[in-house]
Structure 1
Amino acid sequence: MRPPLGSPWAWLPPATALALLALLLATGGNQPVFLALNHAGHAVPPLLWLHLTMFGDGAVALALVLPCIRRLPHCFWAALAAAVFAALWTQVTKQFIDLPRPLAALPLDQFYQAGPAYRRVSFPSGHAAAAFAIAGIWVMGVEGKRLLRALALLLAALVGLSRIMVGVHWPADVLWGMLGGWLGAGLGLALQGRRCWRSSGVAGWLAGLVLAAVAASLLVSRHIGIPEVLPAQRLVGGVCLLWGGREMARMLPQLRRRRTRSPPQHKAAPLEEGVDG
């Protein structure tokens, strides 16, 4: 399905991101806002922000897509397309804008920093792009369920905010990542609306196997670099692997029927009597 562009659910988040980004650039408030938010975040246990930031990791975001392979195939394919767009949005921007991270621009005693000590290519936030790509798919791709859509949007906002709270991104990084993720979700849903891909075929199964491998990697990987979130990371990976595996197993009978379905047999027209062949 195509995203309803006239709905505030579709246009309000990116419009908000653009407006806030323009305000930051116009006022030079990127650094002051970072410090204000980072200091305010101390009112919440740091462990909460570390767990929230985990959900913006690319592998975690992809693993979360796997369980919808059978029930929401349009969201499944749209999310994969959005992931490609969000990754390109992030990496291409980083090639042109090498903004130093807070750790390279400010003394460490001025703010709270946790996790890997990144110092370069701050702009934009890949975690924010991934979080808003997944949230955008749910918000624009699922009808009704307003409470769950609002919660998805709130969770994505908290994931983006967590990048400031753990001291690895500026507010402008998060807003640009948010914009890229949301645009990726819209393009993914529009592309799926045109192509109407199904997940019950061989291509869907192969994509599911790739995401299952990603989910399985979360059981052993330490790539996030935050030891405190390893139990939660493994829990997410295990749940997504088991849930997604169950959904894929329930798709097997349909896949077998599609593969064994033979083309219709055309009967030869009978010869007319009295006509010599």
Structure 2
Amino acid sequence: MPVSLRSPWTWLPPAVALALVAGILATGTNRALFLWLNRSGQGVGDLVWFHLTMLGDGAVALALVLPWIRRAPRLFWAALLAAVVAGLWTQVTKAFVDVPRPLSVLAGGAFHQAGPAYRRVSFPSGHAAAAFALAGIWAMGVRGRRLWRGLLLVLASLVGVSRIMVGVHWPLDVLWGMLGGWLGAWCGLALQARRHGPWQTAGAAGKLAGAVLMAVAASLVVSRHIGIPAVLPAQRLLAVACLAWGAWEMGCLSRAPPLRAPQVRWWPRRIGLVRLVQRAQRRRQDG
């Protein structure tokens, strides 16, 4: 299904993000908005924001794609393409724009900082890009289910805001990461729609992609790369769930009968050719 540019699910989220970016740049309120949000969200507690920010980790996002491999192969491939585009958006921007983190600009007591104490390459937020890439795949790639699509957008927004609440990103970082993730989702779905024929995962390419994501999910069982000890139990539980679910789905793929190309019936064409020859012979005899 091609992505419709007329659908509000396609253009409204990036339009809102661009409007907010323009407003913040025009008023110069990036720092003031960061301080207001950072202070306002502390009543929720660090544990909630830690778990939300965990969902935007790149490895966690890839592990969450694994259960789609059999039930939604079109979205599975679109999500992998989106990950490439969103990753390039984030890393290329970071390579050319080295914005200092809040901890390098503001005094330690001026805001609340929790988790890893990052100081450099703040722009943009990779967590926001990953969250909105996954949310965008479902928001633009699935028909109906407006409630679920809306809830996914809210969840992705909370993941982005969590980066402000733990004190490691400015609002502009989050908004630019959101745009990169949404662009990645749109590109993934658009590239998938341009390919003729169904995108299947039962072949060698699908099994290889599934094996890679299985390895990513398995690494999350032992990895501490997020740097927040409080989320390790949830990280491991999520990794084991994705690993088990993904293994089940890949097992079902292996047991499924191979896809066969549709057979073209040649005999109607042959009969038509025979009749055409017979008519030509009759004309010669009549002639």
TM-score (norm 2): 0.88
Kindly provide the amino acid, as one letter, of the partner of residue 212 in structure 2.
Answer: V
**Which runs of no fewer than 5 residues in structure 2 stay unpaired?**
262-287
Q: Deviations over 1:193-228 (max 9, x none)?
A: 112421111100110010011011110000000000
Aligned to 1:42: 42
* Identity within the alignment, %: 69
Aligned to 1:138: 138
Aligned to 2:20: 20
Give 1:253 deviation, angstroms: 2.2
Mapped to 1, the partners of 2:156 and 2:117 lie a distance apart of 23
Taking the TM superposition and a 5 Å limit, the aligned residue runs for 1:60-209 are: 60-195=60-195, 196-209=198-211
Give 1:258 deviation, angstroms: 5.4
Mapped to 1, the partners of 2:90 and 2:107 lie a distance apart of 26
Local SS of the residue matching 2:258: helix
Kindly provide the amino acid, as one letter, of the partner of residue 245 in structure 2.
Answer: W
Does the 8 Å contact 1:103/1:119 carry over to 2?
yes
Give 1:96 deviation, angstroms: 1.1
**Which runs of no fewer than 5 residues in structure 1 stay unpaired?**
262-277
RMSD: 1.6
In the alignment, is residue 243 of structure 1 matched against residue 275 of structure 2? Answer: no
Does the 8 Å contact 1:201/1:258 carry over to 2?
no
Range with bigger deviation, 64-73 or 188-197: 188-197
Mapped to 1, the partners of 2:3 and 2:162 lie a distance apart of 28
Does the 8 Å contact 1:123/1:172 carry over to 2?
yes
Mapped to 1, the partners of 2:104 and 2:22 lie a distance apart of 24
Does the 8 Å contact 1:14/1:179 carry over to 2?
yes
Local SS of the residue matching 1:114: coil
Mapped to 1, the partners of 2:254 and 2:203 lie a distance apart of 9
Range with bigger deviation, 107-116 or 33-42: 107-116
Local SS of the residue matching 2:67: helix
Does the 8 Å contact 1:69/1:248 carry over to 2?
yes
Mapped to 1, the partners of 2:12 and 2:96 lie a distance apart of 28
Aligned to 2:8: 8
Mapped to 1, the partners of 2:90 and 2:2 lie a distance apart of 24
Local SS of the residue matching 1:77: helix
Mapped to 2, the partners of 1:98 and 1:62 lie a distance apart of 26
Aligned to 1:272: none
Kindly provide the amino acid, as one letter, of the partner of residue 96 in structure 1.
Answer: F
Runs of 4+ in 1 over 4 A off after TM superposition: none
Q: Deviations over 1:141-165 (max 9, x none)?
A: 1111111101110000000000000
Among candidates 222, 226, 229, match of residue 227 of structure 1: 229
Give 1:5 deviation, angstroms: 1.2
